[in-house]
Amino acid sequence: MKIKNLVPAIVLSSVVVPATSMAETTANIGWVSEYLYRGIFQEDSSAYAGVDYAHDSGFYLGTWGADVGDGLETDLYFGFAGGENFKYKIGYTGYYYTDDFDDTYNEVNLGIGYGIFMLDVAVGEWDGFGTPADYTFTSITISPEKGPYYKFGSSSDEFDGDYIELGYTYSIEDAGVDLTLALVGSDDLNVSDPDDGETGDWKLTFGIKKNISFGE
């Protein structure tokens, strides 16, 4: 099974939850050389797209989809987020799949941060094709708004595994384009394609994302 979190390792890294004081609708479209999420391999060469709405009350709502080879992943999420230096978020995320790539995940997302530090916790249940299983995912991210970032993630309860992610995002502001390079490693998760028969590895991934703003 695949424990799911939003972001490919190319930082689709944490389900994208806007913490903004402006009401706006945004969209994004992109591609990653390898889609990894919470340290787990999903698909080689994956295209994705998403739409987000953030209200000045702190309410956010969004959807995101990606090609996972044997079907399509679609994520739906909503909640409340806010703060500038001190940040918080509370919300819900559902992960849904076509074909038999994976089964549904439903989770509650909690986050608190200060400055460049962010602690996120997801508590959820995997439908498990008729055999449900609970899980908890915790991550610590150190990151400025753009540039280098570091993430440590750990899954527990029914599923165990840790990973680290080191990356750098370069933004071409005038074009609304982000370029991300990330190195993801784990001793006990399938960072590489499980068909290769290896558990525990390091993987270098590259991604490009176009951001689109529709204004207030």
Q: Which CATH class is domain 24-213?
A: mainly beta
pTM given for the model: 0.85
Convert the pLDDT of each residue in 110-169 to its tens digit: 999 999 999 999 999 999 999 999 999 999 999 987 799 999 999 987 778 999 999 999
Which residues lie closer than 8 Å to 195 by C-beta, 6 or more apart?
Answer: none
Q: Return the ∠ at Cα 83 (arms to 109 and 120), rounded to 5°.
A: 25
* Neighbouring residues of 47: CB distance < 8 A, sequence distance ≥ 6: 29, 30, 31, 66, 67
Strands 59-67 and 72-82: antiparallel
Element (H, E) at 203: strand 201-213
Q: What is the pLDDT of residues 84-95, one digit of tens each?
A: 899 999 999 999
Share of residues in the chain with pLDDT > 70 (%): 87
Alpha-carbon distance 50 to 26, whole Å? Answer: 8
- At residue 16, the pLDDT reads 43
Q: How confident is residue 14, by pLDDT bands cut at 50, 70 and 90?
A: very low
Is the distance from CB of 122 to CB of 108 less than 8 angstroms?
A: yes
Q: Which residue is listed with tokens 């384009």?
A: 177
Domain map of the chain by residue range?
A: 24-213
